[in-house]
Amino acid sequence: MTAKAAFPPNLSPRALVSRLPFWAWQILIAFAIYLVVSYFILAAFPEAEPRLRFSLEPIMSASMAIQVHVTGAIATFAIGLVLLCAPKGFGLHKTMGWAWVFAMSLTAISSFFITGIMGNNYSPIHALSAWTMIGLPFGIAAIRRRDIQKHRHTMTGMFVGGMVIAGLFSFLPGRLMWEIFFTA
């Protein structure tokens, strides 16, 4: 039996790979990087035994800027999931879209009041916040021009990059979200 005959034509590995949208590849690559970085961080600190638990104490003792940032990020993520999963153009899409833009702006702006990864300096993740503040008006302008494809591409890109990928890296060992979910 040849390798070609092992898979039905519509389920070949090449066909499966070509069917994945670009954003799915971005998430898969980010997740792989996350796993590698997390492994090295945890290997450097063998005394840190991650245990699944939930405590709001780390967020309650954080600065106001961090509390605003986390609240905005959670709201942006939740609203974004609804917008992506619901049928496009449903009755509340425009209202929820404006709420998403507000929450995304709040999340991006509040990030400029947070430092710590690189001392008191901005980290490369702040470039994503700046790009968000530039990209949001482009997404809004696209829908006002009735360019639905451009609007969908811009807003989905910001959700995947700003919420899913950046959110994933907020769960690295030693960061605040890690402390909320995985430390004793």
Is 8 part of a structural domain of the chain? no
Residue-by-residue DSSP string for 46-98: TT--------SHHHHTS-HHHHHHHHHHHHHHHHHHHHHHSPTT-TTHHHHHH
For residue 118, the SS3 value is strand
Residues 6+ apart with CB under 8 A from 84: 156, 159
Number of structural domains (the chain) is: 1
Looking at the domain assignment, is residue 11 inside a domain?
no
> What rounded mean pLDDT belongs to the chain?
86
In a domain, 26, yes or no: no
State yes or no: pLDDT of 153 exceeds 90: yes
Residue 114 to residue 100: CA distance in whole angstroms: 21
Q: Pick 9 or 160 by higher pLDDT.
A: 160
How many C-beta atoms lie closer than 10 Å to residue 111's C-beta? 25
Residue 121 belongs to some domain of the structure = yes
Q: Is residue 142 within 8 Å of 155, Cβ to Cβ?
A: no
Give the percent of the chain with pLDDT over 70.
Answer: 88
174 in the Ramachandran plot: left (φ > 0), alpha (ψ -120 to 50) or beta? left
* 80 neighbors 100 (Cβ within 8 angstroms): yes
The amino acid at residue 122 is: Y
Is residue 22 in some structural domain?
no
pLDDT digits (tens, 9 = 90+) for 94-123: 999 999 999 999 999 999 898 876 667 777
Structural domain containing residue 77: 56-184
Classify residue 92: in a domain, yes or no. yes
The string of pLDDT tens digits covering residues 19-69 is: 788 888 888 998 999 999 989 988 898 887 788 888 899 999 999 999 999
CA–CA separation, 33 and 128 (whole Å)? 18
Give the long-range contacts of residues 36-45, CB within 8 A, separation 24 or more: 37/172, 38/172, 38/173, 41/172, 41/173, 41/174, 42/173, 45/173, 45/174
What pLDDT score was predicted for residue 182? 85
Q: Is residue 21 part of a domain?
A: no
pLDDT for residue 166: 86
Domain-embedded: residue 14:
no
* Rounded mean pLDDT, 119-142: 86
